[in-house]
Amino acid sequence: MPSVVYIVDDDVSFQTAIRRRLQLAGYEVRIYSSAEQFMDQQPDDSRLGCLLLDVRIPGLSGPELQACLHEAGSTLPIVFVSAYDDINTVVQTVKAGAEDFLIKPVTSDVLLAAIERAIARHDVSRKLQSELNLLRAHVATLTPRERQVFDLMIRGKINKQIAFELGPTERTIKAHRHMVMEKMDVRSLAELVLIAERLGLSAV
């Protein structure tokens, strides 16, 4: 399935020229004349792709759409394309996570290179998100008691300390600890601590 490039720009001549360039390069192209139209049609965030976004469009502006997508948790990378070289807007959008900011007229080579970078980044971020979802699913399989043991393990507590804190015998804690390692699919405490860090679970 080809990667998809979403274009939000009300300049019809730009839409036509860009569509042709991108289709020749093997991309699927979807065009929207406003941010509202793009939001209404809710592009499939599971598809690999990127968003080519103008800054000044009728209704919701490019940076405002960027903020909406960020708030919605979208991983779709954004390449801004604008006829206006406004340094404040460039800084604002890039700080907010834009992949690139290109000034019209833009050459095919520059545009395609920016799109390739953006899609490569989308691929990486989707794989990372998929890994995190899998790790969260592993944590969700822990029983309430196993989760308590997990939390104390990542704080560096040994079986005797965990038993003292939670009440059961040391042998019971050892069994819980074994189940935690098995369910989390790890072979060492170091792996477990790294997973906890990736998921933002407190180890203090």
By percentage, how much of the chain surpasses pLDDT 90? 59
Cβ neighbors of 3 (< 8 A, separation 6 or more) are: 27, 28, 47, 48, 49, 50, 119
Read off the pLDDT of residues 76-96 as tens digits, 9 standing for 90 and up: 999 999 988 788 889 999 999
The reported pLDDT for the residue numbered 74 is: 86
* Total residue length of the chain: 204
Question: Which helix (H) or strand (E) covers residue 46, if one does?
Answer: none
Q: What is the mean pLDDT of the chain?
A: 90
Q: Residue ranges of the alpha helices (H) in the chain? A: 12-24, 35-41, 62-71, 87-95, 108-140, 144-153, 159-166, 170-183, 189-198
CA distance 4 to 45: 10
pTM: 0.69
Residue 44 has pLDDT above 80, yes or no: no
The reported pLDDT for the residue numbered 196 is: 92
Read off the pLDDT of residues 136-162 as tens digits, 9 standing for 90 and up: 999 999 999 999 999 999 998 999 999
CA distance 123 to 70: 17
